[in-house]
Amino acid sequence: EFAMSARVALQRALSAMQRLFAPHIPFATEEVWGWWQSGSIHQASWPTTNDVLSGCALTDNFDQLLDATCTVISAIRRTKTEAKVTQKSVVEHVSVSATTEQIALLKLTLTDVTNAGVAQVIEFSPHDAEYIATTARLAPISDTN
């Protein structure tokens, strides 16, 4: 399921980027387009927001949604880096303190944050400050020797 999600995201991004580059590097984009699409890239429609974001959590506060999501994922990744473990390591518990508006936005991307952070539990608690405070606790590493 996660691999499929990654492939769809990559396909959408590649398609949009190729169409955006087509006017500037026409021969290269036409060649690459032919590897995985039928027809000419120069006859393909110009990419739209809907092409890239269809099926994504849409909100009027997209910038705030992206900032909040990146803040939490960055905190999880930082915890793993500081512990000198791989980013694939399981996080047992993530605690996020944020405003109620930020929590509502984060809940729209909860599955993405959970998957990106390999988190088992993410718990939210509201506070009044505008910053997002995140703590992550790594799962115990099992010794398989």
- Say if residue 145's pLDDT is above 60: no
Complete domains list, the chain, with CATH: 2-53 (no CATH), 62-138 (3.30.2320.50)
pLDDT at 57: 59
* Beta-carbon count within 10 A of 140 CB: 8
Enumerate residues 6+ apart whose C-beta is below 8 A from 140.
92
pLDDT tens by residue, 66-94: 899 999 999 999 999 999 999 999 999 99
* Beta-carbon count within 10 A of 124 CB: 16
Q: Cβ(103)–Cβ(126) under 8 Å?
A: yes
Prediction pTM value: 0.69
Classify 60 as helix, strand or coil: coil
